[in-house]
Structure 1
Amino acid sequence: MTSVEAKREAAREALTAYDGVLVAFSGGVDSSVVAALADDALGGDAIACTARSETLPEAELEDAKRVADEIGIRHEIVSFSELESDAFVENDDDRCYHCRTMRLGEMLETAREFGVETVCDGTNADDPGAGHRPGLQAVEELEVHSPLLAHDITKDEVREIAGQYDLSVADKPSMACLSSRIPTGIEVTEDRLTRVERAEALLRQWGFDQFRVRDHDGLARIEVAPDELERALEREFVETVRAELSGLGFDHVTLDLHGYRTGSVSPDGSTVSNSVADDTTAIEPNIDD
């Protein structure tokens, strides 16, 4: 047995001690592995629960439904709105704390409705050291159980375990909620979330794998993985994305030459929170120049 298999078995065995668990389930690789472990350990006493709100792209909700079906776990969907929270809308340094508190609060309430005492999430062993993560404070305060963290399972090991369970999301890129595309200090609104979701849907249609569209109050800053930058400069894509994003309400459309970076608009990200990086190229008229 490899060390990863040993960690997987230890996490699965630990879950058998619970009468039942509800997994905060986004359909990403971390929460999918926790859901698979819970289903493996507890069968019908495990529930995956997805919180639907304005910050969850519709494509991600559909992915969550599909992956829950792959696992065979019971899947519940609850709806709420982070935009009802003034603290969240304000979009300060602790936005993720406010979001996670509300989202996990929905999980805890749903668990009580189903007579389940334990809520689990997908925090892995790499997360505590991965920059500004105020959402982890909410996990601790609400006493949510993190099996991956508890058994020192890193992100790479999560993906390996996902492969062992034959989950289609084993290699899925990380996907944070839509509000992460709005720089700190700019209010989170439904209009901004909607245009970011539609803009990213366009990039997905063009086959980009790892990307973000950051909304700098009317300026779209597109980030793609470094190995996809060349494709993002192709004439057909440039002309299409410029027209489509302008139609969504963006005044300017730019491509960030640094490429995709996690948390580039967060308080300690490499981009100043309310401004645009110097190394961007405008996807604007006169593309022959």
Structure 2
Amino acid sequence: MNVADKRAAALDALSERDGVLVAFSGGVDSSLVAALAHEALGDRAVACTARSETLPAEELDDARRVADEIGIRHVEVEFSELDNPDFVENDGDRCYHCRTMRLGKMFEQARDLGIETVCDGTNASDPGEGHRPGLRAVEELEVFSPLLAHGIAKSEVRELAGDYDLSVADKPSMACLSSRIPTGIEVTEERLSRVERAEGLLRAWGFTQFRVRDHDGLARIEVGHDELDRALDADFVRAARTHLREAGFDHVTLDLEGYRTGSVSPAEGGVSVFDAEYPTSD
């Protein structure tokens, strides 16, 4: 089945619903689902974004902008993962606890709106991408994942998002802020806040694919391989050292292996880092 046929099948499946609420982050996957739902159902489709400490303010702004771009009704709910001690503990099932709480709020909002179906942006590539405990929550809560159900893989998601002229079609994946904290280190508001401030600097400097990992006070900066040269610029290094220390980090490092998913613990990949104690003069 080609991508056009998959899109048509997803539209048909959505159009059979009385209404849907889309768990909407503003990323490319959920944005495509929102666009499909809006095309299939019009005003009977609603996008819902959950605000919490793990969602960067810039991502919330993006979600609002993209919902307006699509033309879909957009609502927001608020909750705190930090209210759940299982989430705070940050074991291997952190994403399961987070997704269960987040989707639970979606179902509450859907009930308030008289909507029976909650959709999410899980795509056909997600189940094959290693340990994904969040997918267990999707299955347990019986969330409808139209991209997964109709075999739409990540590359096809971006292709279809481009067909809809969505501004996020090429947006890099952006996991929640808690993914920057290694397993076993408690997730706290302080750690989430300093990661958000640190990543704000990289965004301001124009980096497009990046993470700042918080190793209990040591910041490990990852940037895309094609951006490593820029990260080694003396002016940026000085700015990163100053800004990240002001944000609350004790040490600032750059990962010379560059950005990659699932690398939150240095022990997992023999990560090479250096402490960014650049001289103050050239």
Q: Deviations over 1:128-160 (max 9, x none)?
A: 010110000000000000000000000000000
Q: Is the 8 A contact 2:257 2:271 kept in 1?
A: no
2:272 maps to a residue whose letter is D
Looking at structure 2, the residues matched to 277 and 283 of structure 1 have their Cα atoms a distance apart, in angstroms, of 19
| Counterpart in the other structure of 1:282 | 275
1:279 maps to a residue whose letter is S
Looking at structure 1, the residues matched to 156 and 105 of structure 2 have their Cα atoms a distance apart, in angstroms, of 29
Shift of 1:165: 0.4
2:238 maps to a residue whose letter is E
Shift of 1:213: 0.2
Q: Is the 8 A contact 1:256 1:277 kept in 2?
A: no
TM-score by length of 2: 0.97
1:91-170 matches, within 5 Å, as 91-170=90-169
Q: Deviations over 1:168-209 (max 9, x none)?
A: 000000000000000000000001000000100100000000
Shift of 1:285: 4.0
2:206 maps to a residue whose letter is G
| Counterpart in the other structure of 1:185 | 184
Q: Is the 8 A contact 2:234 2:278 kept in 1?
A: no
Q: Does 1:218 align with 2:211?
A: no
Looking at structure 2, the residues matched to 272 and 77 of structure 1 have their Cα atoms a distance apart, in angstroms, of 38
Shift of 1:287: 7.3
Other structure's SS at 1:209 match: coil
Looking at structure 2, the residues matched to 163 and 56 of structure 1 have their Cα atoms a distance apart, in angstroms, of 25
Q: Is the 8 A contact 1:27 1:60 kept in 2?
A: yes
1:1-289 matches, within 5 Å, as 3-265=2-264, 271-272=266-267, 277-286=270-279
1:48 maps to a residue whose letter is A
Shift of 1:257: 0.6
Identical aligned pairs, as a percentage? 72
Other structure's SS at 2:219 match: strand
Other structure's SS at 1:54 match: coil
Other structure's SS at 1:272 match: helix
Other structure's SS at 1:149 match: helix
Other structure's SS at 1:230 match: helix
1:219 maps to a residue whose letter is L
1:284 maps to a residue whose letter is E
Looking at structure 1, the residues matched to 95 and 48 of structure 2 have their Cα atoms a distance apart, in angstroms, of 19
Shift of 1:4: 1.0
Other structure's SS at 2:165 match: coil
Looking at structure 2, the residues matched to 253 and 99 of structure 1 have their Cα atoms a distance apart, in angstroms, of 28
Q: Deviations over 1:239-269 (max 9, x none)?
A: 1110110111111000001100112127xxx
Q: Is the 8 A contact 2:237 2:278 kept in 1?
A: no
Shift of 1:41: 0.1
Runs of 4+ off more than 4 Å: none
Gaps of 5+ in 1: none
Shift of 1:107: 0.3
TM-score by length of 1: 0.95
Other structure's SS at 1:170 match: coil
Q: Is the 8 A contact 2:219 2:251 kept in 1?
A: yes
Looking at structure 2, the residues matched to 55 and 74 of structure 1 have their Cα atoms a distance apart, in angstroms, of 23
Looking at structure 1, the residues matched to 102 and 56 of structure 2 have their Cα atoms a distance apart, in angstroms, of 15
Residues matched between the structures, number = 282
1:150 maps to a residue whose letter is A
Q: Is the 8 A contact 2:23 2:47 kept in 1?
A: yes
